[in-house]
Amino acid sequence: MMIDVRNKMEGFVLIRDADSGEVILEKKNAIHFENMSEAIALSLANRPSGHLHEMVFGNGGSVVSGTGAITYFPPNVTGADARLYNQTYSKVVNDQSPLNVDRERNHIRIQHTQNQVYTDIVITCYLDYNEPAGQEFFDDAQDAEGEFIFDEIGLRAFDTTAGTGKLLTHVIFHPVQKSLNRAFEIIYTLRIYMS
């Protein structure tokens, strides 16, 4: 009997100002089911690749017209080599990786409630004031063209060749500027159902 995996996993993204707690974005994301199924199989088989490793950020998920109208592109969730439209930054969030430089604020947690048929994987990523390097001083950009005006985020699996892990999720949203005057906390939740 075949199980419809598409109805068994969903994701949610929350971006908030790390100091004020102001919610900047709260949205469901798209799952790359082919890559996710392979990642789950690799993880269950205890292989060296496939597990959640990094959060990737980009600025190619939308186009803003001169009048301010936003056209959103569809999430890249087909094809094994899917990527963000224009990745401009990445951060290791796996707290078991030696590449993670701040395990207190960038980590993966598992949340399960007894007698429930779902488990959450909660990935937290903290973008501090000074990251990414090269960002603008203030969040007052006059257009949405900056390298760190993000409008797409994804989760990528680990691969033994650095930076080549498969894209597992992708979310497209209105442009949000990351600048030196504010820090972001991104909470990315994957809920896995079994029945």
Q: Where are the beta strands (DSSP E) in 45-165?
A: 52-58, 62-64, 70-72, 87-92, 107-112, 118-127, 149-157
161 inside domain = yes
Give me the pLDDT at residue 7, please: 57
For 28, 81, 177, 190, the CA distances from 17, given in Å and listed in that order, are 19, 32, 12, 21
Give me the pLDDT at residue 2, please: 52
18 inside domain = no
Q: What is the mean pLDDT of residues 75-82?
A: 96
4 neighbors 182 (Cβ within 8 angstroms): no
121 inside domain = yes
Q: What is the mean pLDDT of residues 29-48?
A: 93
pLDDT tens-place string over residues 135-176: 999 888 777 788 999 999 999 999 877 678 999 999 999 999
12 inside domain = no
Give me the pLDDT at residue 98, please: 94
20 inside domain = no
**5 pLDDT more than 50:** no
Question: How many helices (H) and strands (E) are present in the chain, helices listed first?
Answer: 1, 11
Confidence of residue 76 (pLDDT cuts 50, 70, 90): very high
What's this model's pTM, rounded to 2 decimal places?
A: 0.92
Strands 9-17 and 184-193: antiparallel
**Domain of 186, in residue numbers:** 27-193
**180 pLDDT more than 90:** yes
Number of independent structural domains in the chain: 1
149 inside domain = yes
Q: Residues of the chain with pLDDT > 70: what percent?
A: 96
| Rounded-to-integer distance, Cα 17 and Cα 8, Å | 31
Instruction: Considering only CA atoms, give the Rg of the chain.
Output: 17
C-alpha closest to that of 58 among 151, 125, 163: 151
Summary mean pLDDT of the chain? 92
10 inside domain = no
3-state secondary structure of 103: coil
16 inside domain = no
Encoded tokens for 181 = 């005057």
pLDDT tens-place string over residues 107-141: 999 999 999 999 999 999 999 999 999 999 988 87
Eight-class DSSP state of 51: S
Give me the pLDDT at residue 160, please: 76
